[in-house]
Amino acid sequence: MHSSLWLIPPSADHPFNKSVQDLIANTLPSDFPHAPKNNFIPHVTITSDVNPAKTYGDSPQKWLDSLALPEFKRESDEVTIELEELEAGEPFFKKVTLRARKDQNLVKLASACRRQSLLLSGDEAQTWAKNDYLPHLSLFYGDVPRDEVQKKVGLIELQLGFELGSLFDCCGGTLAMGAKLVLVDTGRPIESWQPIAERECPWVMWRMAKGLV
């Protein structure tokens, strides 16, 4: 069973993390009360399909620490996760998402992680990052018809503004500074998706586009 690399907010008690966690755990499930509830950590996937047998084995933290990441710098050369648009999707894991802009440094980070995680060539990883990587933050997982979800998008936008509007207003669109790159065994049931290794990434900036709030 494969694992994934995620970027998650800097801490569990950060206001941004708490607001998004409330949307995931309480607000959106109440919008679709007939669907089974799936609670999960707020995250943006950097790459999936990480095979433990070929990568970290029984030393996940050692492997994560060994990844050669591009050199980013806080406040001068950050990885920016800018949440741009609320979308209703067809796939179970993308039923309601906040699509993120394909920031150049975010693509560079995803490419570097993909190359080392899947043992690809640099060209293969760059092609994937450029053409196939679609960064997003999921808010709801479920077997709900897309048309039904689409009808609730206006309501969810209001709920999003209620949760994140004050953060957006106070910090000029910046929701949080810093993140953790975490390794998660996504072969387990959703309720067991927890980091098995983590690495500080102070050079990540979380932002929200003005049109979302």
- pLDDT for position 72: 97
Quote the domain boundaries for residue 93: 3-212
pTM (two decimals): 0.96
- pLDDT for position 169: 85
For every residue of the chain, DSSP letters joined together read: --EEEEEE-S-TTSHHHHHHHHIIIIIHHHHSTTSPP------EEEEEEE-GGGTTTT-HHHHHHH------BTTTB-EEEEEEEEEE-SSGGGSEEEEE---HHHHHHHHHHHHHHHT--HHHHHHHHHHT---EEEEE-----HHHHHTTHHHHHHHHHHHHHHHHHHTTTEEEEEEEEEEE-TTS-GGG--EEEEEEEEEEEEEE-GGG-
Q: Could you tell me the CATH number of the domain that includes residue 25?
A: 3.90.1140.10
- pLDDT for position 84: 96
Q: pLDDT means per 10 residues in the chain (213 residues)?
A: 94 96 97 96 97 97 98 94 96 97 98 98 98 98 96 96 88 92 96 97 94 72
- pLDDT for position 213: 66
